[in-house]
Structure 1
Amino acid sequence: MKIDRNKFVSLTYELRSGGVEGELKEKAVKETPLTFVFGAGMMIQKFEDNLMGLEEGDNYEFVIDHLDAYGPVMEDRIVDLPKNIFEVDGKIDEKILFEGNVVPMMDASGNRLNGTVVTISDDNVKMDFNHPLAGQDLCFKGEVLEVREASEHELAEAAGIMSGGCGCGSGGCGCGDESCSTEAGAESCGCGSGCGCN
């Protein structure tokens, strides 16, 4: 069976930034593969485009230009915030607020977003709200483990994710669960917008 819309897909992958020999960012192995419903909007479009038509047992390797992945680094998404907004009971939690940490936050409209702590000064915290893989070309390499018709339950879960549901632990992309091993705070394998659960 070939990968096509509404098929349940299971695969291994290695994700490297900057090309084939680039830094390893994420990895999913046979014991904990990436699983998703193809065409349900769970992955970035170019990731799915490169998998279309592959079958169980096929190996793949491709590079996605950063403009087709998470876009360029946007300078207006790097902002200085008052340090006191990170206080809890009048104190800064140093287990959360340290350079390089990804901190879940909420904007003025109540939207969830993740920011990376860039620098900390006496009064301000510089936060980067770009996706951790923004500005980087992505190289994917792996093997298709399974392709089958998605069950009604899997299709319903995928529809819930498309309409804004979280999907964590639901057999989707694996945000925050054991389905994918992520490094550097990156979301797993091509999540278009993420659920904010990392």
Structure 2
Amino acid sequence: MKIEKDRVVRFHYTVSEPGQDPVESSRDREPLAILIGHGNIIPGLEKALEGREAGERFGAEVPAAEAYGERREGLTQRVPKKHFGAQRLAPGMQTVLQTNFGPRAVTIEKVGMTVVDVDLNHPMAGKDLHFDIEVVEVREATPEEIEHGHVHGDGGHHH
């Protein structure tokens, strides 16, 4: 069965910047489970998976524009320190900030007495990425998964 819209794919991945050591890998845990065609992963990776089948192993180059986007200068914000709880903050540190739109990965730029300046660019923005992929399973999505826009069960969302 080929990977296409409204199918669930379970896969292992290792991601790195080209020529660098891996940044992250799923090899030491369960494979990632994604509902294809619903914007659940970066566009370039979803495009690289389309048409593949269970058992395939391949590499994929994903340019920054199809990954986490280009880095945008001036995308900074001053946030009251209380929003970070008791964390010890330092410039260059990456953390997750709870926003009105859900959690957002930010990079600490400057820590003041009562406010923190953060860079809102995704930590991987502006970076071309290389993925090593192993497709473990491809199956039809259930009507409920399609309606909800994500995978349920193994490797997916639990309501």
Query: TM class by shorter-chain length?
Result: 0.7 to 0.9
Unaligned runs of 5+ in 2: none
| Partner SS state of residue 147, structure 2 | helix
Structure-1 residue corresponding to 2:120:
129
Is residue 102 from structure 1 mapped to residue 109 from structure 2 by the alignment? no
Q: Percent identity?
A: 27
Q: CA deviation at 1:98?
A: 3.3
CA distance, structure 2, for counterparts of residue 104 and residue 129 of structure 1: 10
Q: CA deviation at 1:151?
A: 1.8
Pair 31,86 (structure 1): closer, same or farther in 2 beyond 3 Å: closer
Map 1:4-15; keep pairs closer than 5 Å.
4-15=4-15
CA distance, structure 2, for counterparts of residue 128 and residue 137 of structure 1: 19
Structure-2 residue corresponding to 1:38:
36
Q: CA deviation at 1:139?
A: 0.6
Is residue 120 from structure 1 mapped to residue 111 from structure 2 by the alignment? yes
Structure-2 residue corresponding to 1:59:
57
Pair 93,11 (structure 1): closer, same or farther in 2 beyond 3 Å: closer
Equivalent residues, number: 154
CA distance, structure 1, for counterparts of residue 20 and residue 87 of structure 2: 30
User: Could you state the TM-score of these two structures normalised by the residue count of structure 2?
Assistant: 0.82
Q: What RMSD, in angstroms, separates the aligned Cα atoms of the two structures?
A: 2.7
Kept in 2, the 8 Å contact 1:86–1:97? The answer is no
Map 1:1-198; keep pairs closer than 5 Å.
1-17=1-17, 19=18, 21-29=19-27, 31-79=29-77, 81=78, 85-87=80-82, 93-99=85-91, 100-106=93-99, 110-112=100-102, 113-122=104-113, 124-158=115-149, 171=156
User: Could you state the TM-score of these two structures normalised by the residue count of structure 1?
Assistant: 0.67
Greater strand fraction, Structure 1 or Structure 2: 2
